[in-house]
Amino acid sequence: DRLMDSKQNETKSSAGDKYETGMAMIQNEEDLFKRQLADTSKIIEHFKKIDAVKKCDMVEPGALLKLPAGWFYVSAGMGKVMVNGEAIFCISLQSPIGVALKHKKKNDIISFNDQKFTIQEIY
């Protein structure tokens, strides 16, 4: 709303370059917000496709994994999210680590970034 107000209230003064610069900055900010909205909409669509009550016994969308590096939730690539003081990394199956984990099961050994680790738990 503030962006739209700025855009509508920007008036051309005797300093035409200042006006053009101000309008370009507003347009850049508007484009950024549109991209963020599109990205957020994609993330929401990923979450809508997940059955939140399904117990997973392999790495698939909706699986919560305990790895030596911490907790990972297979959903949309959002990075670290804090839940009840615990860091959970939201990853997609298209991410490099998601590809390495896809369809693996508890106690499977995974090789990623020249390291080997075991899937400790899958929920």
pLDDT of residue 96: 95
Residue 11 CB contacts under 8 Å (≥ 6 apart), including other chains: 19
Same domain, 117 and 68: yes
The span from the CA of 17 to the CA of 11, in Å, is 12
pLDDT of residue 16: 59
**84 has a pLDDT exceeding 90:** yes
> What is the arithmetic mean of pLDDT over 9-20?
61
Into how many domains does the chain fold? Answer: 2
In a domain, 79, yes or no: yes
Of 1-5, 9-13, 39-43, 111-115, give the range with the top mean pLDDT.
Answer: 111-115
- Residues of the domain holding 33: 2-48
Q: What would the pLDDT profile of 34-49 be if each residue is shown by its tens digit?
A: 999 988 888 888 788 8
Same domain, 81 and 40: no
Same domain, 107 and 83: yes
pTM comes to 0.69
Spatial contact of 19 and 86, defined as CB atoms under 8 Å apart: no
